[in-house]
Amino acid sequence: MLKIVKQPYRYSLDYSLLNKQRAEVYGYIAGIFKKMGVNRTLGITTSEFLDFLIDVEKGYQDNPYHSFYHAVDVTMVLYHLLVLYDMSKYLNQFDLAMLMLAGICHDIGHPGNNNQFEISCETEKAKRFSNLSVLESYSAVMTLDLFDKHDFLRNIETRSKKISKENVYMTKDSFSSGVVKMILATDMFCHFTLRDNITALKDKIDHHHHHENQLKPLFDHKEDPYVYFKEHYFNSETPNSVFENDEDADLNQEQRLMMCNILIHAADISNPCRPWNVYQQLSRLVCLEFFRQGDVERELGLPVSPQMDRNKANPSKVNVGFIDFIVRPYFESLCQLFPKAEELVDRCDQNREEWVQLSWEEAPDPNNTNIPSAKESLGGDIEEEIKQM
């Protein structure tokens, strides 16, 4: 029987979802969404949310890493960042609802290879999205389709009118647009711009109305994947969200959206901030997925992508580089806004030392395929679990 967890892993990132039963994982997600007030904000029941979540899981492929397990893991990290490290302090309840939904949906449909592979193979997805944030765009489309299938946002305008102080309210399009933009922001292409925008937001908050440090757009205007969504899904005049005219707010609507983009990317790259045993397990799954892509590239006569050749890759070196050039600087910048997150930087440093000390010969064999897939880890039949509620 599915049990909603009221205090899911409350004050720690020291958790692992590996080998958890599906009903238990669903209970954690349902508990997190209830704790963050998402169902209340959207005006939906727990049963309706679970119906949606079942379809979200069905949309994920059984990849070693980019699976429903990864989506749940990122969503739980988001929860901890928001609650444990006070990262929700500048966001309103609609921002939080968009962010949590973007977290659970951000890699839906992921095929287990990267954007460059899609482009090199000239896949239908690559053509559809003009080679721009191909997989992120595909995940965003699948998310919008599920919103429509479940009529998930049918109460959003009514709910926002009850909450809004002014005659400004959230529409289906403005909410959906926010979720799409957050999913697109998980493209690693955005990483350095997001990091720069952390500093810009810090300046804005420190100086409030006296100084405006303009945010950098995540994509060049001519190569913005969001153009596809404006053309196919949203009116170009999609209204801003609720509280736009609140002069007392630290951040306006655009800045809050950028904050959400920053946070979802932080959660997505947060593996080095986890306890060593969890990080090491996740790293093995990443390696396995990378090597599978490298094998396919070799079979197709394509150049094998960097770090994806199982005969040449050095996971220890790759992880040290990932920490040094990507994760640590990003979380160090994030500490400007949220000082409590300093312990995550410390964890990064500790894990870096683990990789330095761990020679490739001593490391877990990434070619070991005896790793539980998402399906094997979650197990069970969720439809039957729901019936027993």
Instruction: Please give the residue that has the higher pLDDT: either 226 or 206.
Output: 226
Annotated binding-site members for Zn(2+): 70, 106-107, 268
Q: What is the mean pLDDT of the chain?
A: 87
191 is catalytic: no
| 187-203 residue pLDDT tens | 999 999 999 999 999 99
pLDDT tens-digit series, residues 315-353: 999 999 999 999 999 999 999 999 999 999 999 999 999
Instruction: Record the pTM.
Output: 0.89
312 or 246: whose pLDDT is higher?
312
> Which among 224, 220, 254 is positioned nearest to 238, based on CA atoms?
254
- By the 8 A CB rule, do 323 and 346 touch? no
Percentage above 70 pLDDT, the chain: 83
State the average pLDDT over residues 80-99.
95
Q: Which of 66, 80, 191, 265 is catalytic?
A: 66
First to last CA, the chain: 6
pLDDT of residue 98: 98
State residue 220's pLDDT score. Answer: 84
Tell me the domains of the chain and their CATH numbers. 21-209+247-269 (1.10.1300.10), 270-367 (no CATH)
Proportion of the chain above pLDDT 90, given as a percent: 72
pLDDT at 142 over 90: yes
Q: Which residues are annotated as a binding site?
A: 70, 106-107, 268
> Is the pLDDT confidence value at 218 over 60?
yes
pLDDT in tens, 57-78: 999 999 999 999 999 999 999 9
Span 8-16, mean pLDDT? Answer: 64
- Cβ-Cβ contacts under 8 Å for 341 (sequence gap 6 or more): 81, 85, 87, 331, 334, 335
Quick one: pLDDT band at residue 367, thresholds 50, 70, 90?
A: low
